[in-house]
Amino acid sequence: MNFALLLSHLPNTHESRAHYESLLSLDPVRPNRLAAFWRRLGSLFS
């Protein structure tokens, strides 16, 4: 098998990283409402 042919099709890591980071920035991190509820409930009983 000729591995040189496979290497030419590998994505550029810098381009992949930039694309991945741009995808992450599209959906801002929202606080989990269920976790906030449990924290409030726990603080009432402690």
Q: Domain count of the chain? A: 1
The owner of tokens 């929202």 is 30
The full length of the chain comes to: 46
> Which amino acid type is present at position 45?
F
The Cα-based distances of 5 to 9, 10, 14 in angstroms read 7, 10, 21
Percent of the chain predicted with pLDDT > 90: 2
| pTM confidence score | 0.34
pLDDT value at residue 8: 57
The owner of tokens 């009432």 is 44
